[in-house]
Amino acid sequence: MWRGREEEEPQRPRWYSFRRHRSGAVEWAVVVLFMVLAVVVLLGAVAVLVVVVLLHPRAPYVAVRAASLYTLVYGQTGVLDDVQVTVWVEARNGNAHSAAYFSRLECRLAFAGATLAVLCAYPFHVPARGILPLAYVARAGRPAGRRRQRRHGGRTPRRRGAVLGGG
């Protein structure tokens, strides 16, 4: 009996046969490599999570706790002649299991846009859950001889480390 085109049975899709295609050694090596890489990344993520959850690491920091201005002398021309300041700085480490090492500490003391002093510390360490107080006394100003020359109109180069207003 004749069937028309409309009545034809639809063709079933062919299933992919693994017998036709064989994977090569290079393809399997790439698959194994990526699987190993995925396992390493997952283990690294778990290790970081364990460290953060169990150890609660905190960043060590340095804070200025107090400062006192003892001397502030301006000359008649409005130039800063003398300043003396005491600064108390505190290095704090909140970690319970590890000490913190500060290899360089440099604080610049500035007034009216001019750097008056640079406060430096040698390398130091702060023990676990420890505090290390640091005290600085900074003095900046023109030497007495320069003051006299300045008043008489003479010009001398500035000392290195002392920054003053004027010129």
| Confidence at 58, pLDDT banded by 50, 70, 90 | confident
6 within a domain of the structure (yes/no): no
Q: Is residue 82, in this structure, part of any structural domain at all? A: yes
66 in the same domain as 47 = no
- Please indicate, yes or no, if residue 2 is contained in any of the structural domains: no
Give the separation between CA 61 and CA 102, rounded to whole angstroms.
10
Location of structure tokens 């200025």: 64
Higher pLDDT, 136 or 22: 136
Q: Which CATH number characterizes residue 109's domain?
A: 2.60.40
Look at residues 55, 78, 98 and tell me which one is the last residue of a structural domain.
55
Assess if residue 140 is contained within a domain.
Answer: yes
Average pLDDT over residues 81-94: 90
> 113 and 136 share a domain?
yes
95 domain residue, yes or no: yes
Pair 126, 50 in one domain: no
Position 56 confidence tier, pLDDT thresholds 50, 70, 90: confident
* pLDDT for 126: 93
Among candidate residues 55, 71, 103, the one where a domain is terminated:
55
In a shared domain, residues 88 and 65: yes
Does some domain include residue 9?
no
- Whole-number pLDDT of residue 73: 87
CA distance linking residue 44 with residue 96, whole number of Å: 23
Q: Could you list the residue range(s) of the whole structural domain that residue 38 is in?
A: 22-55
In 3D, which of 166, 111, 107 has the Cα closest to residue 140?
A: 111
Residues 72 and 30 in one domain: no
- The count of structural domains within the chain is 2
pLDDT on residue 165: 36
- Residue 51 and residue 122 share a domain: no
Is 10 part of any domain?
A: no
Q: What is the mean predicted confidence (pLDDT) over 80-86?
A: 87
